[in-house]
């Protein structure tokens, strides 16, 4: 597949957007393939998404060896929740155009989502091998590694991404991920430097503000954390992480009732977020509502049985409830 044609096709697809909100359509022509790969289902109108899938299937019937069409179909199937179908189409796209990095990248995302982490890593590594100087690909690989708990390798990929960043906005985003991973390793000062640099490069990036909030809370600067968390919510009111950051900051500052409301907002935005359920449970527990806390911890563990924080919190809440009887 011709890379330039492939990228142009992606931009054409996003401009049509097939259901994207008008504000996104206005800027979609400037989106890179990697930004398209990072698109969320919430940005699409599901009816128009379904119509697009039908149309692409018809076009592929007439042109079965068109890798771009198969990539588009695989992407839309992924956004529609048909992960098996998405995997099939993206594998076909890869077999037709084995040197297109974003086809490997999108397949990696699908495999990662359905739990085939080993196969996903192979696809991420293949994308990096094809485009070793592409910061966006290193960044998305780092995000997957961090989610999978491989923080040391994620740190290396975030640093590579920063080295190849093509704009201050990209640098800020990549630095935000680096800050989060450094904090996970206990390097609070390194995390603080990365987060502050991210905010200085792009103060309008909500993720930079949430990254800074997390490390400020870690080092005990609770009032400053509350300021950055409020800014994150202003910048991205529909982002779960913004409300989680504000909820944690409010709780740390003793505003527990308001914290509960922020965590509820996060849960409303993403009812299947185990982290949001855990944080809401924690706020309930701190407010003395142990029964509600236990219910949220149990929901968190159903959603993510590996979430140790929820498991530990549940044990504490159950013990507390038993002690009161």
What SS3 string covers 104-147?
A: HHHHHHHHHHCCCHHHHHHHHHHHHHHCCCCHHHHHHHHHHHHH
| Domains held by the chain: number | 1
Q: Please report whether residue 312 resides in a domain.
A: no
Q: Please report whether residue 120 resides in a domain.
A: no
- Classify residue 41 by its DSSP letter: G
Q: What does the pLDDT look like over 48-74, one tens digit per residue?
A: 888 889 998 999 999 999 988 898 899
Q: How far apart are CA 221 and CA 242, in angstroms?
A: 18
All residues at 6 or more sequence positions from 137 whose CB lies less than 8 Å from its CB, including other chains:
34, 101, 102, 105, 127, 128, 131
Residues of the domain holding 26: 1-111
Q: What is the pLDDT of residue 36?
A: 64
For the cut 50, the answer to whether the pLDDT of residue 28 exceeds it is no
Q: Please report whether residue 80 resides in a domain.
A: yes
The answer to whether 231 and 215 are in contact (CB under 8 A) is: no
Region for residue 312 given its phi and psi (left: phi exceeds 0; alpha: psi -120 to 50; beta: otherwise): alpha
Q: What is the pLDDT of residue 42?
A: 64
Q: Please report whether residue 169 resides in a domain.
A: no
Nearest CA-CA partner of 18 in 10, 109, 140:
10
Give the gyration radius of the chain's Cα atoms.
21
Q: What is the pLDDT of residue 187?
A: 97
CATH number at residue 13: 1.25.40.10
Q: Please report whether residue 183 resides in a domain.
A: no
Q: Please report whether residue 265 resides in a domain.
A: no
All residues at 6 or more sequence positions from 84 whose CB lies less than 8 Å from its CB, including other chains:
none
Q: Please report whether residue 154 resides in a domain.
A: no
Q: What does the pLDDT look like over 183-229, one tens digit per residue?
A: 999 999 999 999 999 999 999 999 999 999 999 999 999 999 999 99
Q: Please report whether residue 122 resides in a domain.
A: no
All residues at 6 or more sequence positions from 4 whose CB lies less than 8 Å from its CB, including other chains:
none
Q: How far apart are CA 325 and CA 321, in angstroms?
A: 7
Nearest CA-CA partner of 147 in 205, 108, 196:
108
Q: Picking from 38-42, 188-192, 252-256, 268-272, which range would have the lowest pLDDT averaged per residue?
A: 38-42
Q: Is 130 exposed, middle or buried (0-12, 13-18, 19+ CB in 10 A)?
A: middle
């Amino acid at each position: 597949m011709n890379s330039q044609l492939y990228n142009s096709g992606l931009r054409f697809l996003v401009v049509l957007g097939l259901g994207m909100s008008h504000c996104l359509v206005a800027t979609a022509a400037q989106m890179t393939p990697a930004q398209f790969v990072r698109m969320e289902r919430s940005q699409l109108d599901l009816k128009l998404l379904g119509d697009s899938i039908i149309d692409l299937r018809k076009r592929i019937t007439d042109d079965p060896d068109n890798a771009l069409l198969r990539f588009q179909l695989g992407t839309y199937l992924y956004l529609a929740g048909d992960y098996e179908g998405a995997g099939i189409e993206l594998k076909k796209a890869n077999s037709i155009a084995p040197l297109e990095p974003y086809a490997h990248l999108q397949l990696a995302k699908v495999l990662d989502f359905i739990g085939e982490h080993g196969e996903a890593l192979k696809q991420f590594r293949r994308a990096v091998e094809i485009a070793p100087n592409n910061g966006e690909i290193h960044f998305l690989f780092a995000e997957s590694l961090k989610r999978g708990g491989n923080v040391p390798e994620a740190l290396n990929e975030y640093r590579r991404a920063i080295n190849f960043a093509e704009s201050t906005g990209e640098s800020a985003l990549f630095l935000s991920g680096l800050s989060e991973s450094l904090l996970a390793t206990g390097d609070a000062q390194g995390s603080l430097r990365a987060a502050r640099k991210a905010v200085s490069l792009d103060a309008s990036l909500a993720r930079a503000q949430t990254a800074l909030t997390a490390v400020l809370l870690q080092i005990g600067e609770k009032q400053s954390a509350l300021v950055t968390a409020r800014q994150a919510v202003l910048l991205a009111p529909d982002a779960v992480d913004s409300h989680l950051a504000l909820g944690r900051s409010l709780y740390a500052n003793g505003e527990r009732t308001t914290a509960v409301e922020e965590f509820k907002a996060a849960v409303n935005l993403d009812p299947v977020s185990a982290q949001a359920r855990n944080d809401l449970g924690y706020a309930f527990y701190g407010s003395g509502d142990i029964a509600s806390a236990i219910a949220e911890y149990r929901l968190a563990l159903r959603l993510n049985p590996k979430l140790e924080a929820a498991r530990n919190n549940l044990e504490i809440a159950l013990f507390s409830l038993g002690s009161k009887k």
